[in-house]
A and B are shown apart, each in its own frame.
Chain A
Amino acid sequence: MTRNSRRLVSVLAAATIATTMAACGGDDDSGGGGDSSGGGGDTGTAADNEATGPGMTEDTVTIGSHYPLTGRAAPGYSEIPTGVQAYFDYVNANGGVYDRQIEWVYRDDGYNPTNTSTVVRELVLDEEVFAIMGGLGTATHNAVLDFLNTEEVPDLFVASGSSLWDDPENLPYTFGWQTDYESEGKIIGQYIAENYPDAKVGLFLQDDDFGEDGERGVRQYLDDDQIVEVQTYTSGNIDVGPQMAALQSSGADFVLGFNTPPYTALTQLAARNLNYTPQWWYSNVGSAPDLVGSLLGAFSQGAVSGASALAGIMTTAYIPTVDQVDNPWIQLFQRIWDESGQEGVLTNTRVYGMAQAYTMVQALQAAGRNPTGDDLVAAVEEAGSDWRGPSFTPFRFSTDRHAGISGMSVVQFNDQGVGEELTPLLVTDTGDADIEEYDGEPIAPPESGIPDEEAVG
């Protein structure tokens, strides 16, 4: 059974439930898509809107972020804010949140922490954003953690799987979003231990927290003697030949990569040129089938299509991807992207941005009609774990946890480059938390395409 059809069934089931719930609930609003309401249960009107402080005026709410739009990290990542833009435009066209238009302001930091520190201050002090959302990068965002928390600016959904963001005691305003690298490593490690007990595993790691956290997770489930080789690379050094040769000569027949998408393409090519054919597994960050497929497609010279260049490769997923054309979320995002009239096609990075924007709208709805920054943070802590959206499994948000999505599923690409699910949805946590099957189901998007969360408190 392919991932698509399985999802579709569950989605249909969930959709029915959702409709029924809505019918029974008898909320007076039009599902967030109406002209006067942003959240379920809210009975106010635009006339009740008040400016509450920086970034929250009577008719606008300003959200800001930082991305690498130029420089070596720009490929791929520079598309995320355009996805966010498309989704916010869509929400705005449908009345916004609590009759406020969302203004989306993002700045280029060139992936240099010094620049991040400057542009984020500009966003907070000059542009007076209400919150920062989806700031990208571990090192870059690390530079502004203290500033945002001292200035009490909500710092939601940092776009990196580092475990740094989950520290409510010291960083009460900062929240993660995507599944952290360590949890992902655990899920991968367990799967390999159970299904490939005889595999000789080689690790290919980016030499930063991404690779380290991933390795820590994997090693919780794989014995040290099953991991026969560990190779690292420094981002920017494009020759991975020596690393691939070392993995090959170590006898590794299962290579697990915690790397960025360009390195997926580079390792695939290097291995092909070495006639090295292990089983491949790339962590979610590196899988990017659309990007990698298009890069690899050019090399197959007709022998194989771009998509099938990925055939057999395994990965992990926590939100739907563009190859799942039947997934209702992808269909929704496709429609929104087309309507936004921006250049380019829908990509996984844009889906990522849209999914984050969806969560942001949920947070704004839950925060109530006239929230302060503290209200927004309280809303995420209180209600965040109940929000459902594009992500397969829920968030771990609570007053003592600021960690994002809790689980993933294991996926293998078929000959058409479409991911097929090998496991049910698995949820886990950092440290020695067990890996469990998720007992819920992914949900379908609301008909309006806009969430409809109750205001808390």
Chain B
Amino acid sequence: MSETQTPTGEPGAASDDAPSTATAAANASPARATGRRSFLPRLTLLRHLLILVVGAALAVLLLESTELNTNIKLGNVAYLAVAAGGLTLLTGLSGQISLGHGALMAVGAYTTALMLDVERGDEPPSLFLVFLAAIAATTVVGALVGVAAARLHGPYLAGATLALAVGIPGLALYFSDTLGGEQGITVRPPERPEWFDNAVEQLSGASGRGLNDKWVAYIAVACLLVTYFFLANLMRSRMGRTWRAVRDQEVAAELAGISLGSWRVLAFVVSAAAAGLAGAVLAIVVQLAAPGSFLPVLSLSLLTAVVIGGLGSLTGALLGSALLVFLPPWLIDIGRDVFDMEEAQASQASFVVYGLLLVVTMLFAPAGLVGTVRLALLRRRAARATAAAGGR
């Protein structure tokens, strides 16, 4: 279990100031009477803690029962899911679209790469500090973008954030002396502690090759768990409700004294922080921060993950991210091994099938994967209730 308690816990910092923000929010809201106590129902918090523990146990089980290669893919899933989780809060809860979260990830990744870029032999700063700095830097950029974004709607916001997705990687080329240009900055993977090797050996007997990747995968998954714990609580809290009000009932919310603009900026800032952490994790997983990793297609993929998984649901975002990582290679394998295609052909064909799958999912499961399952369950329950009522 200790693996999940790696020094990555940015929530320490984040949740510390969450209550004060909540108080500020409460001040703005006329319905504050109970103050702090009602920020989050105790039961929800306990439930989320339980899920966190179970999730951590499952993660260890998953990482130890799969091949190393799958380990690193799970690391990929983890950082995509961290970013997608932030986007879920922004798009699903506060109702703002962003086609530029890939660029925010770039900010986190470059911050990480720059901080870890020390002379060989020199001790790099601790990963915890590096991640905090990455989050901080991205939060600042996110706040700037958020202020502009709060005034924009729908396609206008989409256009502006898409321009962001193209603009930020360009800066890495323009300031190539500090940011490494097209070839990027290599990131040395974090040193893994000795206890980790022992623990893994105890758990699954794995040793030797690829343990570094495993360590990185654990860090990534730990970041995912911590982020989702934090996001889940936030979404269930009064802040979450306020965001929903901002999204669904603009006028009512404004009449109730909620400042739409500040809440939209806040949503952007929180989701940018998640994107920053995601970028930091990407940097240590890929071991490189280069503009080629942050093309607009990354931002579009994140949005795809959020919607296909089921808008507004963290489980959905996780599921969507897993699809992004596992589906295309699986399709290529099928093309190559089953249909005997050339590698290049199989690659192109996988894009065709992937694209069509997106379309088909939206046509037949418009609420996304999680949403559709949830709807089906609700429907069955309703049907059963009706049947029961009719039978009586």
Contacts and interface: CB of A to CB of B under 8 A. Distances in A.
Interface residues of A, number: 40
B170 A69 contact: no
A150 to B, nearest CB: 6
A117 B332 CA distance: 17
Contact of B186 (A110, A121, A145): A145
A377 B170 CA distance: 38
Contact of A114 (B210, B286, B329): B286
B189 interface: yes
A108 interface: yes
Judged by DSSP, the binding face of B is: helix
Given A70-B347, A78-B344, A145-B186, A207 B181 contact: yes
Given A118-B73, A126-B69, A208-B181, A150 B212 contact: yes
B69 A121 contact: yes
Contact of A143 (B76, B188, B290): B290
A111 interface: yes
Judged by DSSP, the binding face of A is: helix
A436 interface: no
B184 A142 contact: yes
B79 to A, nearest CB: 10
Which of B183, B184, B288 counts the most chain A CB atoms within 10 A?
A: B183
Contacts of B73: 118
Contact of B67 (A78, A108, A114, A126): A126
A69 B347 contact: yes
A107 interface: yes
B212 A117 contact: no
Interface string B51-93: 0000000000000000111001100100000000000000000
Nearest to B185: A142
Contacts, number: 110
B50 to A, nearest CB: 33
Which of B68, B182, B209, B298 counts the most chain A CB atoms within 10 A?
A: B182
Interface string B283-321: 001111011110100100000000000000000000000
B365 interface: no
Nearest to A153: B209
A211 to B, nearest CB: 9
A145 B290 CA distance: 14
Contact of A117 (B67, B173, B286, B298): B286
Interface residues of B, number: 39
Interface string A431-449: 0000000000000000000
A184 B186 CA distance: 25
Interface in A385-423: none
A170 B76 CA distance: 26
B292 A112 contact: yes
Interface string B205-237: 000011011000000000000000000000000
B348 interface: yes
Which of A69, A107, A112, A113 counts the most chain B CB atoms within 10 A?
A: A113
Contacts of A207: 173, 176, 181-182
A209 interface: yes
Interface in A192-250: 207-209, 212, 234-235
Given A113-B288, A122-B69, A234-B173, A142 B181 contact: no
B76 A118 contact: yes
B248 interface: no
A106 B344 CA distance: 10
Given A113-B290, A207-B173, 10 more contacts: A112-B295, A113-B184, A114-B76, A114-B298, A118-B72, A139-B291, A142-B184, A143-B184, A144-B287, A151-B209
29 contacts: A69-B348, A70-B347, A70-B348, A106-B343, A108-B343, A108-B344, A113-B293, A114-B76, A114-B293, A117-B72, A117-B287, A117-B288, A121-B68, A125-B68, A125-B209, A126-B69, A142-B183, A142-B290, A143-B184, A143-B288, A146-B186, A146-B189, A146-B287, A164-B183, A207-B173, A207-B176, A207-B182, A208-B173, A212-B181
